[in-house]
């Protein structure tokens, strides 16, 4: 799959770059396809060769970002189960740090109420697969614990991003690790 025409990759990169730059300046609804095309320095028609409209572009950007996130989360677990280790947790907080701009835009922007939901859903599915119901979790409803943890984790990330990362990624990872430990999400 490395055989996509160079021009296509370059064009898509330029569009996404322009889009993110604009997202950092103004809110989603006031961004137009025209603006994106101008900033990306390409013809407006070219935009429509790759995306249906700006909503489709946003969708694909989020999709891509989430795939990257999942890749980082699972970077350790290879053919093992995807139960997190402290290392994978640290990679993940560092990933958020690195993509601060993106998540900051998405979580802050009033025009993006759906983003938080999608992230929450992603987390629910991730945790549902990983949670083991032994020992201290016996007698609890699993789905309730899943929802509880997902909301908590998304909330923490949201807080961290929204407050411009008031603690370093490493500390956040340590704190999260302790919280996961207490709730039996890891080994």
Q: Could you say which of DNA, its own copies, none residue 52 binds, taking C-beta under 5 to 8 angstroms by partner kind? A: DNA
Which residue in 30, 43, 67, 141 binds its own copies (CB under 8 A)? 43
Residues touching its own copies: how many (CB under 8 A)? 5
The number of residues making up the chain comes to 187
Question: Closest distance between its own copies and the C-beta of residue 43, in Å?
Answer: 7
Task: Give Rg (Cα) of the chain.
Answer: 19
* Per-residue 3-state assignment (H helix, E strand, C coil) for 64-98: HHHHHHHHHHCCCCCCCCCCCCHHHHHHHHHHHHH
Nearest-CA neighbor of 19 among 171, 150, 11? 11
- 1 is an interface residue for DNA by CB under 7 A: no
Tokens matching residue 81:
């189960």
Which residue in 18, 42, 169, 176 binds DNA (CB under 7 A)? 42
- 3 is an interface residue for its own copies by CB under 8 A: no
Question: Closest distance between its own copies and the C-beta of residue 167, in Å?
Answer: 37
Contact, 162 vs 107, CB < 8 A?
A: yes
Q: What are phi and psi of 45, to 5 degrees?
A: -60, -35
Judged by CB, which is closer to DNA: 10, or 17?
A: 10
- 43 is an interface residue for DNA by CB under 7 A: yes
Which residue in 1, 3, 41, 164 binds its own copies (CB under 8 A)? 41
Which residue in 52, 101, 136, 140 binds DNA (CB under 7 A)? 52
């Amino acid at each position: 799959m490395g055989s996509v025409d160079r021009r296509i990759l370059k064009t898509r990169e330029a569009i996404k770059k322009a889009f993110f730059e604009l997202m950092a300046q103004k809110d989603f609804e006031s961004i137009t396809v025209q603006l994106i095309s101008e900033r990306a320095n390409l013809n407006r028609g070219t935009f429509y060769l790759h995306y249906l409209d700006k909503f489709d572009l946003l969708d694909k950007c989020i999709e891509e970002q989430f795939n990257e996130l999942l890749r980082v989360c699972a970077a350790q677990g290879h053919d093992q189960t995807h139960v997190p280790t402290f290392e994978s947790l640290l990679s993940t907080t560092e990933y958020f740090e690195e993509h601060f701009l993106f998540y900051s835009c998405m979580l802050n922007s009033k025009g993006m109420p759906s983003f938080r939901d999608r992230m929450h859903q992603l987390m629910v599915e991730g945790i549902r697969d990983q949670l083991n119901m032994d020992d201290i979790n016996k007698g609890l409803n699993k789905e309730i614990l899943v929802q509880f943890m997902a909301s908590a984790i998304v909330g923490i990330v949201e807080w961290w991003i929204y407050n411009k990362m008031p603690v370093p990624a490493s500390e956040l990872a340590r704190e999260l690790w302790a919280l996961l430990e207490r709730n039996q999400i890891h080994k």
